[in-house]
Amino acid sequence: MKNSNIVEFRFLAEPTDVNFGGKVHGGMVMKWIDQASYACAAQWSKRYCVTISANGIRFIRPILVGQMITVTARIVHTGKTSMHIYVVVRAGYPKEDNIIITNRCFITFLATDETGYPVKVDPYIPETEEDKLLEEAAIEAKHFAKTLDSDFEEKLGWK
Ligand SMILES: CC(C)(COP(=O)(O)OP(=O)(O)OC[C@H]1O[C@@H](n2cnc3c(N)ncnc32)[C@H](O)[C@@H]1OP(=O)(O)O)[C@@H](O)C(=O)NCCC(=O)NCCS
């Protein structure tokens, strides 16, 4: 059977999720993104996975307490051991119809064996035109992240 490349989380934004300004904390949104992406990567690889990098995370609109949150994580590109996931967060009050996109990003996970060593993952093959465009964007994001890695290493002496 074909691996499923999508995971969707749905829940309500709670009072404990907010910051001092009364809106959902950015760090909480990043946690939701990381959790949904982990589930997506583990579902695809059937392995324990670790986060490698998160790229282009965008806070487009604030999220408010009581809104229903949908976090959709979707594998859009795979390498040998890495899975590149496109995540979209949507929010809206359950009593209303105006659901909006609040966040999006690319996040990359690596599949590991029991000892933490990287293992190969099944290749993801894009099918639709949208799949192909998302894969292209994910590859660009990966190149950007790697360029940043080498810039840090060469210019700032950090690895
Ligand atoms: C993940 C980790 C093992 C990668 O090690 P590394 O030596 O930096 O990476 P490598 O050069 O071996 O590359 C491994 C894969 O990551 C990809 N990769 C490396 N840097 C990347 C970046 N900045 N963005 C996206 N992908 C990247 C590579 O393309 C490669 O994928 P492939 O096998 O599909 O070609 C290492 O960085 C690590 O242990 N990080 C900590 C993980 C962690 O604690 N996460 C948070 C808690 S889960």
- pLDDT tens for residues 25-62? 999 999 999 999 999 999 999 999 999 999 999 999 99
What does pTM read for this prediction? 0.94
Phi, psi of 100 (to 5 degrees): -125, 155
53 touches ligand 1 (CB under 6 Å)? yes
Instruction: Give, for ligand 1, the residue of 52, 84, 158 to mutate: max count of ligand atoms closer than 8 Å to Cβ.
Output: 52
- pLDDT at residue 157, rounded to an integer: 81
Ligand 1 centroid from CA 111, angstroms? 10
Domain boundaries along the sequence of the chain: 6-156
44 vs 103: CA distance, rounded Å: 23
Ligand 1 pocket member 110 (CB < 6 A): yes
- Is the pLDDT reported for residue 1 higher than 90? no
Alpha carbon nearest to ligand 1 atom 21, residue: 146
CB 35 less than 6 A from any atom of ligand 1: no
Give the burial string for 62-84 (b: 16+ CB within 10 Å, else e).
ebbeebbbbbbbbbbbbeebbbb
CATH classification for the domain delimited by 6-156, as one of 3.30.70.3450, 1.10.3720.10, 3.10.129.10, 1.50.10.100: 3.10.129.10
Token pair recorded at residue 137? 């964007």
Cβ of 64 below 6 Å from ligand 1: no
